[in-house]
Amino acid sequence: MPDKPRLLLINAFRLSPGSYSLRPASGTREQLVMDYENVAHLLADVEWDVNAGALATHGDWAVEALEEFLIVGANRLPLVREGCESGKYDAIVLLGGGDPGYPESREIGRRHGIPVTSCAHAQMHVASMLAHRFGIIDISEKHNAQMAKLVVEYRFTERCTGIRNIDFPLPRPANANRPSIASERAKALAGEHSAMLEAAFEASEAAIQEDGAEVLILGCSAAYWMQPLLQKRLGEAGWDIPVLEGYSCAIEQAKLLARLGLDASGMMIPRDPPARSRRRKLV
C-alpha cells in the first residue's frame, strides 16, 4: 500500500501547437492538465506525471465523433503500456470526458497489477455513491452519442436520467463558425456573462425538475471548467445537488485503488492465459 501513490495522467490526444486553445501541445505538467487549478489540491499528496497524449491521427482537431474516439483510444494504448511497463507508477489516469481506450487500457493495467481510471466511468460511480440517479450535462449532439454509449457499456442505464445537450460543440471542421468554448470559459472566469454557462444552468434545472436527476455530471472535459461555477449558481438558486467533473473523480479513484492495492477483477478481465477458466460467462 503506497503511502504516496505515483500517478501517470495521460491526455486523450495531442494536436499541433495552437490547434486546441483549451490545452497546449507542450509545456509544464501543470499546463498540460486542463483547469489544473481545480485539481491541484487533489494532486498535492501524490507523486505524478502527465503525458501530453499521442499525436492525433484522425485530424488536427478535438474529438466528438465515435470514429474519432476509437482512433484516439487506440493511439493512447502504447502510452498506457509504456507507463505500466516502466514500473514507475501505481495507477494510470486517463484524461478526457469520453473515455477513449478505457476498457483496453484496463486490460493492459491488469497485466501489471496497475489500476486504470477514466473520467466518465469515475464520475458515474461517484454519482451512484451520492444518490440513486444522475443526469449528464453535455456539450453537443455528436458528443452525446459517445456518452450514451458509455452509460450502456458501464451498465448505468437504470441510474442515468438522460443527457442534456447545451449545444456548444468542440472546435472541429464540422463546427465552423460556432461559439468558442475557450472564449465562453474566459468570459465566465472573468465574471462576465457566459452563454455556455447559462445554457448549462438551464439544462441542469431541466435535468432536476423534469428528469429527476439527483446528481449532475459533466460529459466533456472541455466543460469541466464549469463545475465550480455551476455548483455555485445552482446553490444560489436553492438546488442542493452535487455537480461532478471527471478529472477530480478519476484522480481520487486512482488514489483509492492504489492505496487499497486493487486493480480490475480477473473475472472481468482475465489474465492471458487465465490461471483457471470458467465454463460460463454471464452477461
Task: Output the nine-digit C-alpha cell for 198.
Answer: 447559462
- Tell me the C-alpha distance between 99 and 121, whole Å: 8
pLDDT (tens digit, 9 = 90+) per residue, 88-102? 999 999 999 999 999
- Tell me the C-alpha distance between 115 and 48, whole Å: 15
Provide mean pLDDT across the span 152-175.
97
Question: Among residues of the chain, what percentage have pLDDT more than 70?
Answer: 99
Question: Which range among 14-23, 29-38, 152-161 shows the weakest confidence by mean pLDDT?
Answer: 14-23
Q: How confident is the model at residue 21 (pLDDT cuts 50, 70, 90)?
A: confident
Q: Taking a C-beta distance cutoff of 8 angstroms, is the pair 131, 104 a contact?
A: no
For the beta sheet containing 243-244, the strands, ordered from the edge strand earlier in sequence to the opposite edge, are 160-165, 134-138, 215-218, 243-244
Task: Output the nine-digit C-alpha cell for 179.
Answer: 461559439
Please determine, for residue 207, whether its predicted confidence score (pLDDT) is greater than 90.
yes
Whole-structure pTM value: 0.96
Long-range pairs for 23-32 at CB < 8 Å and ≥24 separation? 25/52, 26/52
Q: How confident is the model at residue 145 (pLDDT cuts 50, 70, 90)?
A: very high
